[in-house]
């Protein structure tokens, strides 16, 4: 892909596992001509024990480079307050950063009576505070002048899951509000910011029972895939998607409608 065909640099968080929405996002945006800074954090992937290979981030990056784009892997612990700004600065070594996709998450099940203070704080640090700090660092490096065309695009992945996953659901609710605020507050910098709720996606965490329940609750007759979520994000990052702003979009096959 020639340099003039490139779309800019997009930062994507949560690209630690091959079987993930983050991996599908990376491959989809690479196919569309975006240079990529891919963030991952292996200690989290190891802690939660989801399906993965230690080589997943490198193999995802290699597959993205096959589309002719530049890709940098940038590991970072988003529970640390200094990591978001460091990630944006590192991404700028590739070129101007004009896209931000937040697909990372801290997600460890617990309920009202079983959630620890440590878990609550860690979920909010990763899912809410890091999102705010990523958006702030992203916006600060954009031109501070309104343009008719978008100069920056932000998409965050969210969820409705709350019951018996309280700190995850509560912190995702905070994430939604942060991104909606960005759509308004950063309009003078040409930012378009949206939230995508992909519904139940079978990316390695589901039991057979959850898989059957999710399928039954989806009128489309199947569970979502990482590619389904990536397709919507690719549209939002395209010129055709530039009029969509400040929205929480459900791309879930009709899950739990009615």
User: DSSP secondary-structure letter at 125?
Assistant: I
| Domain membership flag for residue 257 | no
Contact 103/12 with Cβ under 8 angstroms?
Answer: yes
pLDDT at residue 195, as a whole number: 98
State the pLDDT confidence band at 2, using cuts at 50, 70 and 90.
Answer: low
Q: Which tens digit of pLDDT belongs to each residue from 31-77?
A: 999 999 999 999 999 998 887 888 999 999 999 999 999 999 999 99
Residue 217 pLDDT greater than 90, yes or no: no
Q: How many domains does the chain divide into?
A: 1
What is the average pLDDT value for the chain, to the nearest integer?
Answer: 93
pLDDT at residue 196, as a whole number: 98
Q: The domain that contains 18 carries what CATH number?
A: 3.40.50.720
28: Cβ contacts below 8 Å, ≥ 6 apart = 227, 230, 231, 233, 234
- Please state the rounded mean pLDDT for residues 216-234: 91
| Domain membership flag for residue 44 | yes
| Domain membership flag for residue 258 | no
| Domain membership flag for residue 129 | yes
State the Cα–Cα distance between residues 59 and 185, nearest whole angstrom.
Answer: 37
State the Cα–Cα distance between residues 171 and 107, nearest whole angstrom.
Answer: 10
Helix, strand, or coil (residue 224): strand
Residue 9 pLDDT greater than 70, yes or no: yes
- Please state the rounded mean pLDDT for residues 207-214: 82
Contact 42/76 with Cβ under 8 angstroms?
Answer: no
Residue 134 pLDDT greater than 90, yes or no: yes
pLDDT at residue 243, as a whole number: 96
Per the structure, the complete domain to which residue 182 belongs is given by 3-250
Residue 235 pLDDT greater than 80, yes or no: yes
Share of the chain above pLDDT 90, in %: 76
Residue 116 pLDDT greater than 90, yes or no: yes
pLDDT at residue 91, as a whole number: 98
| Domain membership flag for residue 187 | yes
Region of 219 on the Ramachandran plot (φ > 0 left; ψ -120 to 50 alpha; else beta) = alpha
| Domain membership flag for residue 33 | yes
- Please state the rounded mean pLDDT for residues 117-134: 98
Q: Which residue has the higher pLDDT, 210 or 196?
A: 196
- Please state the rounded mean pLDDT for residues 222-232: 93
Q: Which tens digit of pLDDT belongs to each residue from 87-109?
A: 999 999 999 999 999 999 999 99
| Domain membership flag for residue 168 | yes
| Domain membership flag for residue 197 | yes
Residue 4 pLDDT greater than 80, yes or no: no
218: Cβ contacts below 8 Å, ≥ 6 apart = 199, 200, 224, 252, 253, 254, 255
């Amino acid at each position: 892909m020639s340099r003039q065909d490139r779309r800019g640099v997009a930062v994507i968080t949560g690209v630690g596992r091959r079987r993930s929405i983050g991996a599908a996002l990376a491959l989809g945006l690479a196919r569309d001509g975006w240079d990529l800074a891919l963030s991952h954090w292996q200690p989290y992937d190891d802690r939660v024990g989801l399906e993965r290979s230690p080589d997943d981030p490198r193999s995802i990056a290699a597959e993205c480079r096959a589309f002719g784009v530049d890709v940098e892997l940038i590991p970072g612990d988003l529970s640390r307050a200094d990591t978001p700004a460091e990630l944006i600065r590192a991404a700028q070594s590739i070129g101007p950063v004009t896209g931000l996709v937040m697909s990372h998450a801290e997600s460890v099940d617990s309920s009202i009576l079983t959630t620890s203070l440590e878990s609550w704080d860690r979920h909010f640090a990763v899912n809410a505070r890091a999102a705010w700090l990523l958006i702030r660092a992203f916006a600060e490096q954009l031109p501070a002048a309104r343009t008719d065309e978008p100069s920056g695009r932000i998409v965050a992945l969210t969820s409705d899951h709350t019951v018996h996953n309280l700190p995850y659901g509560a912190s995702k609710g905070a994430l939604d509000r942060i991104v909606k605020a960005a759509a308004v507050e950063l309009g003078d910098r040409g930012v378009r910011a949206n939230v995508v709720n992909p519904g139940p996606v079978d990316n390695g965490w589901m039991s057979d029972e959850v898989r059957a329940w999710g399928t039954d609750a989806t009128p489309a007759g199947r569970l979502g895939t990482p590619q389904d979520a990536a397709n919507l994000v690719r549209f939002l990052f395209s010129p055709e998607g530039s009029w969509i702003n400040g929205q929480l979009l459900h791309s879930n096959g009709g899950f739990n409608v009615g």
